[in-house]
Structure 1
Amino acid sequence: MLSLNSSSLKDSGRFSLRSKVYILISSTTLSTIQYKSVQIQFRFNSDSIQIHFRFISDSFQIH
């Protein structure tokens, strides 16, 4: 299980990963969520911090 907490900022966001289930809980605006070969971007309004996650599954194809 992977968990990322940002409590030092004014807006707190939590990203949790459990058994390939992606749960993003944020009080701010979300930018982009994709499920396969996951891109997750969410930015914070006050500090304008952009956090980008890319996850590659166990089996992936190179085109």
Structure 2
Amino acid sequence: MPTAARQEATRPEASEPPAHECGVCRALDADLKVAEAVGDLGAVESLRTELRNHSRDGGAA
């Protein structure tokens, strides 16, 4: 099982900052970190997609 540090280093989104910073972004990012820490790969993928889509849409709810 990869360590959290290795996951963080290999996470593609880590190199691209969000287009904006809002409460939704912070909540999604916090949930993503928890999912990574517990190794819930399904949730990790889903949260990454949701965060990427939210950021791409400029924060639209």
Q: Do both share a fold (TM > 0.5)?
A: no
Structure with the bigger percentage of helix: 2
Higher relative CO (Cα under 8 Å, sequence separation at least 6) belongs to 2
Structure with the bigger percentage of strand: 1
TM-score by length of structure 2 reads: 0.26
TM-score by length of structure 1 reads: 0.26
Larger radius of gyration: 1
